Amino acid sequence: MLNSFTGKIPNAEASLPRLQVLQLWSNQLSGEIPNYLGTQSDLTILDLSMNNLSGKIPDELCHSGHLVTLGLFSNSLQGQIPRSLNTCKSLEAIHLRKNSSGNDEGIVELDMFSNLPNLRFLDLSYNGVSTVTSFVLKGALIGYGCGLPVGVVIGYVAVKTG
């Protein structure tokens, strides 16, 4: 977090068994997000935003089920957003803007987020997404960009494109 860390995120699974918050945003970290971060049973905040991370978002990221905030914006992550995120019922905020998330056709299936009862913030803007599926979010803020709703919204938001 506002340091000058470089290189890959080391495998520190055994030495951090009670890790609750990992904020390494605004560095120069590269490589892929390690799978073990999702198995940290006490991890509630993971913020690796504004780095040079690449590859896919690991399916295991919500394996512990306690993650509240996921910040991965402004990286070079590619591929689909893993459907396994919908198992993380504690998620309140997902920050994925400025990546290349979505499938090869530029489609994000937002219904995958409808199973998250605590989700209040979802930002997928600037991801090259051309189509989103129908979606309802009870939340405070939603941002998509690309001609879709951006800004503060209170109550329920319904997005239907086609």
Query: Which contacts qualify for 16-23: CB closer than 8 Å, 24 or more apart?
Result: 16/40, 17/41, 18/42, 19/43, 20/44, 20/45, 21/45, 22/46, 22/47, 22/48, 23/47
Compute the average pLDDT of residues 7-31.
Answer: 90
Does residue 86 sit in helix, strand or coil? helix
**109-119 pLDDT, tens digit each:** 777 888 899 99
Which pLDDT belongs to residue 140?
A: 45
Percent of the chain whose predicted confidence (pLDDT) is above 90: 38
**56-66 pLDDT, tens digit each:** 999 999 888 89
Per-residue pLDDT at 149 exceeds 60: no
CA distances from 100 to 19, 29, 106 (A): 28, 17, 9
Boundaries of every domain in the chain: 6-159
Which pLDDT belongs to residue 39?
A: 85
Instruction: Choose from 14-18, 46-50, 128-132 the range with maximum mean pLDDT.
Output: 46-50
**72-85 pLDDT, tens digit each:** 999 999 888 888 99
The CATH code for residues 6-159 is 3.80.10.10
- List the one residue out of 78, 85, 13, 132 whose CA is nearest residue 142: 132
The pTM for the full model equals: 0.80
* pLDDT band per the 50, 70, 90 thresholds, residue 107: low
